[in-house]
Amino acid sequence: MAAGSTGRAVAVVTLVLAALLGSAYALGRSLVPDPPRPHDGVATSVDDAQYADQASESGRSHGDRPAPPPDTPATGQQPDGHRMAEGGDALFGARVDTGSPEVALTFDDGPDPQYTPQVLEVLRQYQVKATFCVVGENARNHPDLIQAIVADGHTLCNHSWNHDFLLGKRSPEVIRADLLRTNEAIRTAAPDSPIGYFRQPGGAWTYPVVQVAEELGMVPLHWTVDPNDWQAPGAATITATVTRDTAAGSIVLLHDAGGNRQDTVDALHLILPDLAGRFRLAALPTAGTT
């Protein structure tokens, strides 16, 4: 009988101790914060997502990937009135408007021997000046077209040597060499022409690429209106987007190279008379730039 009582007592003590240990463990766990959980569908760093889709698109023919909308609340004002995007919207200080009532048309990825002359002819017909963001290897291969752009009074923008979407992720030394090589090709064709702007392929801005461009005397140039004409959606779609979304101060992104740009050329015949009737169209100025 004594032995049975002793066994029951031991069992009770064991259960009590187990309960106390369990309570202590639970209390300790409640005092330790849970590890952070990844954000669903949200990049937590540049390396996580900003360039993941660009790497998959880098084989695409020189088209610019749509970038985050430039007219987000996180914008600042330059002393000259130009709106500059802050780092919070992934533009890192690139210019997103003209800073004046004027509207600027910009053409990327050229020059191209088939489409650039057509774009120049339409611009000439409507007496409109624009800004051409040229790719270095295309400038090297078609110096006559660089000369034609300059002869018609348009301004120039550096668009990297070979449209490298990932240029902004490379070292400052590599970025600088790329931009200088592109400038050299442009100046070989047009020695006295200023190159006032740099546009990062795909709008994939980073602090290093913005800093290097500025150190070389070029303004990082983004855009306000993007009709995604690189996708060749048809002249009517390109026209509708540009005429609907353009406002005073807009920088319009279009393409004269990097694929079949006939839609863009055809759209210009409709875009130019509409915009010219509502705004003053002008090339981005290069005064004070190199």
Please give the positions annotated as active site.
108, 255
As a whole number of angstroms, the distance between CA 290 and CA 286 comes to 8
Tokens of 51: 């360039």
> In terms of Cα–Cα distance, which of 202, 169, 167, 204 is closest to 182?
167
- Determine the 3-state secondary structure of 263 from DSSP: helix
Tokens of 101: 């009532």
Helix spans in the chain (H)? 2-30, 52-57, 116-125, 136-141, 143-151, 172-189, 207-215, 235-245, 262-278
Please list, in sequence order, all residues whose beta carbon lies within 8 angstroms of the beta carbon of residue 180, skipping any fewer than 6 positions away: 216
As a whole number of angstroms, the distance between CA 180 and CA 109 comes to 17
The one-letter code for the residue type at 46 is V
Backbone angles phi and psi of 197, in degrees to 5: -140, 155
